[in-house]
Chains A and B, each alone.
Chain A
Amino acid sequence: MKPRHRKLAIIVSGVSALGIAAALVLNAFESNMVFFFSPSQVAANEAPRGKSFRIGGLVEEGSIKRQSDGVTVNFVVTDTAKVIPVVYTGILPDLFKEGKGVVAQGKLSADGVFRADEVLAKHDENYMPPEAAGALEQARIQKTVMTQ
């Protein structure tokens, strides 16, 4: 091979390797993005079925119920306008409390119950997850619009 050809070969292989890497990264990115929906959006059927997504809001007062196995917990997430029933099996974070902000990731089942495989409550007593705060704010605006 002439040096010029060799150089060309290197450049071509380098560029195609970078191209493959970029395609790989973007493909993985595309398929692993998790979207966030507020309880109102879920109620309006905006959330996908059969795909994982996140919900957030407040844990409704008096809604936490533990099933007899001790590790499965039912609770309700509200944005003060709409609610979603959630079921989760496992240990909840330390700061998971009724009336406090929460974000959960999972899938919506056919019966309208959100099956969470991850529950996040943030590690500061007075800290509200921004997603949850956003959902509450959105619902408040909606209500004001409707009452006017």
Chain B
Amino acid sequence: MIPELGNFALILALLLAITQGTLPIIGAARGIPSWIALARPVVQGQFVFLAIAFGCLAYSFVNNDFSVMNVARNSNSELPIQYRIAASWGSHEGSLLLWVFMLSAWSVAVSVFSRHLPDEMVARVLGVMGLVSVGFILFLLVTSNPFDRLLPAAFEGSDLNPLLQDPGMVIHPPMLYMGYVGFSVAFAFAIAALISGEMDAAWARWSRPWTTVAWVFLTIGIMLGSWWAYYELGWGGWWFWDPVENASFLPWLVGTALVHSLAVTEKRGSFKSWTVLLAICAFSLSLLGTFLVRSGVLTSVHAFATDPARGVFILAFLVIVIGSSLLLFAWRAPKVGLGGKFDLVSRESMLLANNLLLMVAAGSVLLGTLYPLIMDSLDLGKISVGPPYFEAVFVPLMTPAIFLMGLGPLARWKQASLPELMLRLRWAFGVSVVTALLMPFIMGEWKPLVSFGLLLAFWVIATIFVSIRQRLHNSGQGGLFTKLARQSRSYYSMHLAHFGIAVFIIGVTLVNGYETEKDVRMEIGSTVEMGGYTFRFNGASPVSGPNYQAMRGDIDVLHNGEKIRVMQPEKRTYNASGMAMTEPAIDTGFLRDLYVALGEPLEDGAWVVRVYHKPFVDWIWFGCLLMAFGGILAVTDRRYRLKVHTKHVETATVADDKRVASNPRLSTGGKKA
């Protein structure tokens, strides 16, 4: 009964989505106020029905209703309650239901927080989101209905993949999806601008916080995924350039470019068409990511389901969405205009260069991810493109990008002077070079690549200091704290996010440069030395968990002869699936992680044990968190909160635009001004 109710709610949501995707857009085009006014209530109604549908699915999981195919395949009565709830989005069907549910949640958020926007604009934005929703709900109902019955009912479910039975996996997919789906708002704003042909600084200011919030979710989602892979997959890496990871990284790269390009559109009125194109790309790549992970075309961890009907549907959907939005772009972009002009050396030009670098990076990741799939589908041989390719491409592309990241915030808008910049930054450069050369000695060994990585990180940090110092110097009278308080949150947010990048680079550089990994045979009582620590193996004994049996190893960690910690890695076998799983034990520290995992049992109680010493590895995820906090800080900036203030800024920017437009120096598109 409950699953049928869920199914019915889903069908009603589809009908509302169709209404949402058609009437408000037509109403906005024809000027029919009653159709325009329909947008908000329909969005909220759709949300209610999708919430009911999602609740019904979760209910079936929690109550072990094995007459529902989805539940029987992805859950088990022994499964702890939190994983039964998480299992509702652990499967293909459930995760797509979560996708549209989140889409409707974002739509409701837009409908609530858009009171100050023109009604036509809201109608178009919500209409576009409604069309996306139609595609996904249709996909659910036609090819992957989460409420399909299994008759006769299964006596017991076949369990959630043990890899997904983990707190990180409970929140990772919702975070990632919030990011993916969040880009639909930026996309909808862009399409609405193309349809109406109106695109000014105010447009950029409306879509900017939405994009930033989506970017924050995506950042946290990717971070959680990386962290999960580190402690759950049992081989201690934090990024594998696996197609599934690339699928989430692609929208992130383009989304990062979009966040910066929107900043230029808001402040200077430039990059208009480029911003629209980026918004279309970011969302298209989010869709592609969903397609790659969920259609089963990939040969990786996430490819649980393989069903060609689904693949064809998503592919068709993808072609329709991307194709029609690019067509619309080609047709309408000239109306939107190019926007303000700027000089060869200016903050705009640096942001543009970084945008291009991010896009080339995204292109190279896309190539490495899709090329093997295309080769395979055309029967041209099976190839794989591994981490060496991505590393060879990424480091040279990101090096100039990070250099410019330090330079950009100090450069003036419109026209900057290179000699002046060099003069202002000579100390920052000197300090970062010296520190980067000396730091590796503290770590014990000088390595050129480590020095190089640290140089980039210290350059970013040093330029942040210079920027804040000069900003305070130029901000009038008052004590240090008055001056600090005078700066806007968006200013700090930029530096916080950039600082996160620096912390991230330090983590990556040092863990790559100085990690030690050993796979060793350990007999009871034997020891291994690593990074100043001694690991003593005391044997392994059987334990049983709620839904698994395990061998739990017992390893003492000694530092300077003193026992500092007992580590208990496990080798689990799950009851329902019989699947084996390695559960490493990790001692997390500010400067290093100790990581032990059990391999295979040998004779006489000995085991093959994997022992890792990973310096600064947690800085990688900490850096991502700082980036995300930067984003959160940015959306709490007062100009988004104060509507009275908003008007004032608007007029100022428009005046700015006019001044910029009257300068016939340069145009972004190389078009003669």
Assess the A11–B670 pair: CB atoms within 8 A: yes
| One of B6-14, B18-26, B389-397 at the interface | B389-397
Q: Is B606 an interface residue (CB 8 A)?
A: yes
Q: Indicate whether A36 sits within 8 Å of B384 (C-beta atoms), given known contacts A18-B356, A28-B389, A124-B304.
A: yes
* Nearest A residue to B365, CB-CB: A25
Assess the A28–B581 pair: CB atoms within 8 A: no
Shortest Cβ distance from A106 into chain B, in angstroms? 12
Contacts of A35 in B (CB 8 A): 381-383
Select one of A7, A21, A134 contacting B382, CB under 8 A.
Answer: A134
| One of A76-84, A86-94, A107-115, A140-148 at the interface | A86-94
Shortest Cβ distance from B491 into chain A, in angstroms? 29
Q: Is A3 an interface residue (CB 8 A)?
A: yes
* Nearest A residue to B387, CB-CB: A32
| One of B86-94, B572-580, B642-650 at the interface | B572-580
With A17-B356, A28-B393, A34-B385 already in contact, 6 other A-B pairs whose C-beta atoms are closer than 8 Å: A10-B670, A25-B360, A25-B364, A29-B371, A69-B521, A94-B581
> Could you mark each residue 1-38 of chain A with 1 if its beta carbon is under 8 Å from any beta carbon of chain B, else 0?
00100110011001001100110110011011111100
Select one of B303, B367, B599 contacting A92, CB under 8 A.
Answer: B599
Shortest Cβ distance from B402 into chain A, in angstroms? 15
> Could you mark each residue 361-395 of chain B with 1 if its beta carbon is under 8 Å from any beta carbon of chain A, else 0?
00110011001000010000111111011001100
- Chain B binding surface, main DSSP class: mixed
Assess the A94–B393 pair: CB atoms within 8 A: no
> Could you mark each residue 90-102 of chain A with 1 if its beta carbon is under 8 Å from any beta carbon of chain B, else 0?
1110110000000
A interface bracket (residues with beta carbon within 8 Å of B)? 35 or more
Select one of A22, A105, A130 contacting B299, CB under 8 A.
Answer: A130
* Nearest B residue to A3, CB-CB: B665
Shortest Cβ distance from B265 into chain A, in angstroms? 20
Assess the A7–B383 pair: CB atoms within 8 A: no
Contacts of B519 in A (CB 8 A): 71, 89-91
7 contacts between A and B (CB under 8 A): A25-B363, A29-B385, A36-B381, A54-B384, A94-B579, A123-B161, A124-B579
Shortest Cβ distance from B140 into chain A, in angstroms? 23
Assess the A70–B521 pair: CB atoms within 8 A: yes
Bound CA span A71–B304, Å: 31
> Could you mark each residue 298-318 of chain B with 1 if its beta carbon is under 8 Å from any beta carbon of chain A, else 0?
011101100000000000000
Q: Is B163 an interface residue (CB 8 A)?
A: yes
Q: Is B610 an interface residue (CB 8 A)?
A: yes
Assess the A24–B393 pair: CB atoms within 8 A: yes
Q: Is B142 an interface residue (CB 8 A)?
A: no
* Nearest A residue to B572, CB-CB: A94
Interface residues of B in 567-610 (CB under 8 A from A): 577-582, 597, 599-600, 602, 606, 608, 610
Q: Is B520 an interface residue (CB 8 A)?
A: yes
Select one of A10, A21, A25, A70 contacting B606, CB under 8 A.
Answer: A70
Bound CA span A54–B386, Å: 11
Bound CA span A24–B384, Å: 19
Assess the A7–B666 pair: CB atoms within 8 A: yes
Select one of B357, B360, B386 contacting A34, CB under 8 A.
Answer: B386
Assess the B383–A32 pair: CB atoms within 8 A: no
* Nearest B residue to A36, CB-CB: B382
Interface residues of B in 646-673 (CB under 8 A from A): 664-666, 670
Bound CA span A46–B664, Å: 62
Shortest Cβ distance from A37 into chain B, in angstroms? 9
Assess the B382–A131 pair: CB atoms within 8 A: yes
Select one of A28, A71, A91, A95 contacting B579, CB under 8 A.
Answer: A95
Give the number of A-B contacts (CB < 8 Å).
Answer: 115
Assess the A32–B577 pair: CB atoms within 8 A: no
Bound CA span A25–B389, Å: 8
Contacts of B384 in A (CB 8 A): 33-34, 36, 54, 105
Assess the B665–A18 pair: CB atoms within 8 A: no
Q: Is A125 an interface residue (CB 8 A)?
A: yes
Shortest Cβ distance from B185 into chain A, in angstroms? 30
Assess the B360–A95 pair: CB atoms within 8 A: no
Assess the B670–A7 pair: CB atoms within 8 A: yes
Shortest Cβ distance from B390 into chain A, in angstroms? 8
Assess the A25–B600 pair: CB atoms within 8 A: no
Bound CA span A31–B161, Å: 36
Bound CA span A72–B437, Å: 39
Can you list the 7 inter-chain pairs with the closest CB atoms, starting with the nearest?
Answer: A70-B521, A32-B389, A36-B382, A91-B599, A28-B392, A94-B580, A25-B364
Contacts of B235 in A (CB 8 A): 91
Bound CA span A92–B606, Å: 16
Assess the A6–B602 pair: CB atoms within 8 A: no
> Could you mark each residue 596-631 of chain B with 1 if its beta carbon is under 8 Å from any beta carbon of chain A, else 0?
010110100010101000000000000000000000
Q: Indicate whether A129 sits within 8 Å of B299 (C-beta atoms), given known contacts A21-B360, A94-B581, A124-B304.
A: yes
Q: Is B32 an interface residue (CB 8 A)?
A: no
Assess the A125–B608 pair: CB atoms within 8 A: no
Q: Is B234 an interface residue (CB 8 A)?
A: yes
Contacts of B303 in A (CB 8 A): 127
Q: Is B150 an interface residue (CB 8 A)?
A: no
Contacts of B608 in A (CB 8 A): 70-71, 91
Shortest Cβ distance from B512 into chain A, in angstroms? 17
Contacts of A89 in B (CB 8 A): 519
Contacts of A94 in B (CB 8 A): 234, 579-582
Q: Is A65 an interface residue (CB 8 A)?
A: no
Q: Indicate whether A10 sits within 8 Å of B161 (C-beta atoms), given known contacts A24-B393, A29-B385, A124-B304.
A: no
Bound CA span A130–B368, Å: 18
* Nearest A residue to B665, CB-CB: A3
